[in-house]
């Protein structure tokens, strides 16, 4: 595939995300802030229930699964994982079986994303939180062997779909966004996104370096610290260049050098009490943005990132940016399990 913005060569992709997603100007909030112009790249609109950022990564991952002859997808995440929900629904649409390995106890109620996983008919295994990370490799091997013994073939997708293959999804988004910013009459000074497993930030960082070098990409961490994401995002980009050396070579004219020295900017000051735990300022931000722009954020990812972005603007840290684009990564179903935290 090639487009007007560049001649980036992409690997095979299943076409599931509604794209390009719109770039919208937030006129009310921009007026309130009386500072930079705020824009939002509506990746919450990649679909209504397949919505959010994971769909873009899964388009490339599912294409690879199909090419390898897999019939089953295994992936993992929290009980309210948006990534697992998107995988479960896409698996149905693309004709795969799906098995989710979820971190935590089985809740009494099937709320939010978990309800949708159930509706999609995914097989679900729950594992204790405390040892989940350290034993995850073992869980994946166990189930892959299990399906192999049944004469089936399982394709494993890591947390958040963040690996070399998934990275293509946000390289492609960066290409869309570059074209849209130019059409809107600016070259974005700053792209901001929520960062959880790092793949979105990795794709945007690489894409900006190739296509829009004056743009600064900031990942707002919702877990882990900046040092962790510097390593993780850097490693994903290097793995991408190695795994897709042939395609990368075709893209060589536009590849920045050296890849392992790309600046990776992560802000870890707005995580709050922890992953999926939010303070009152986050629920306040959700109400403020819904009431001023009719735009919905979620307490796990996008509201933390948005709150952090507003705080950074307020502090004057980004005073040299005339235009800031918030990449909205979805997550609306994660709002409902937090209903008890809202005070009206």
Ligand X SMILES: *Cc1c(COP(=O)(O)O)cnc(C)c1O
Residue whose CB is less far from ligand X, 47 or 198: 198
| Residues in region 33-52 near ligand X by CB under 6 A | 52
Q: Does 308 bind ligand X (CB under 6 A)?
A: no
Question: How many whole angstroms from its chain centre is CA 279?
Answer: 22
Q: Does 103 bind ligand X (CB under 6 A)?
A: no
The least distance separating ligand X from the CB of residue 272, rounded to whole angstroms, comes to 15
The least distance separating ligand X from the CB of residue 220, rounded to whole angstroms, comes to 9
10 Å Cβ neighbour count for 15? 8
The least distance separating ligand X from the CB of residue 52, rounded to whole angstroms, comes to 5
| Span of 12-20, 97-105, 118-126, 328-336 interacting with ligand X by CB under 6 A | 328-336
The least distance separating ligand X from the CB of residue 39, rounded to whole angstroms, comes to 17
Q: Does 195 bind ligand X (CB under 6 A)?
A: yes
- For residues 39 and 184, the answer to whether their CB atoms sit within 8 Å is yes
Q: Which residues are catalytic?
A: 81
- For residues 11 and 63, the answer to whether their CB atoms sit within 8 Å is yes
Could you say which of 19, 200, 212, 266 contacts ligand X (CB under 6 A)? 200
Could you say which of 47, 78, 112, 160 contacts ligand X (CB under 6 A)? 160
| Span of 30-38, 113-121, 176-184, 326-334 interacting with ligand X by CB under 6 A | 326-334
Q: Does 83 bind ligand X (CB under 6 A)?
A: yes
Please work out the total of residues on this chain that contact ligand X, with binding judged by CB under 6 A: 20
- Distance between CA 99 and CA 340 in Å, rounded? 30
Interface residues with ligand X (CB under 6 A)?
52-53, 82-83, 160, 162, 194-201, 298, 301-302, 329-331
């Amino acid at each position: 595939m090639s487009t007007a913005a560049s001649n980036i060569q992409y690997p095979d992709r299943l076409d599931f995300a509604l794209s390009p997603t719109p770039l919208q100007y937030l006129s009310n909030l921009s007026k309130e802030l009386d500072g930079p112009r705020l824009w939002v790249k509506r990746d919450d609109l990649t679909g209504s229930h397949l919505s959010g950022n994971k769909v873009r990564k899964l388009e490339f991952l599912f294409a690879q699964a199909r090419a390898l002859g897999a019939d089953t997808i295994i992936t993992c995440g929290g009980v309210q994982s948006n990534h697992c929900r998107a995988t479960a629904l896409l698996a149905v649409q693309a004709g795969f079986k799906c098995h989710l390995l979820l971190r935590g106890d089985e809740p009494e109620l099937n709320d939010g994303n978990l309800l949708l996983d159930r509706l999609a008919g995914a097989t679900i295994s729950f594992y204790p939180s405390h040892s989940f990370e350290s034993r995850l490799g073992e869980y994946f091997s166990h189930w892959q062997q299990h399906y192999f013994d049944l004469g089936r073939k399982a394709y494993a997708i890591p947390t958040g779909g963040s690996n070399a293959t998934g990275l293509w999804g946000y390289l492609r988004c960066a290409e869309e966004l570059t074209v849209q910013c130019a059409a809107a009459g600016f070259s974005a000074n700053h792209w901001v996104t929520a960062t959880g497993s790092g793949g979105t930030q990795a794709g945007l960082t690489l894409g900006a370096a190739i296509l829009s070098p004056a743009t600064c990409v900031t990942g707002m961490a919702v877990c882990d610290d900046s040092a962790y994401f510097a390593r993780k995002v850097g490693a994903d980009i290097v793995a991408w260049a190695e795994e897709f050396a042939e395609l990368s070579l075709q893209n060589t004219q536009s590849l920045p050098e050296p890849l392992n020295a790309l600046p990776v900017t992560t802000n870890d000051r707005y995580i709050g009490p922890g992953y999926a735990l939010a303070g009152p300022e986050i629920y306040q931000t959700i109400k403020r943005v819904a009431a001023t722009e009719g735009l919905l954020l979620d307490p796990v990812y996008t509201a933390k990132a948005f709150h952090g972005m507003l705080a950074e603007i307020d502090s004057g840290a980004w005073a040299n940016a005339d235009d800031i684009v918030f990449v909205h990564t979805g997550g609306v179903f994660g709002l409902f399990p937090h209903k008890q935290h809202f005070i009206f």
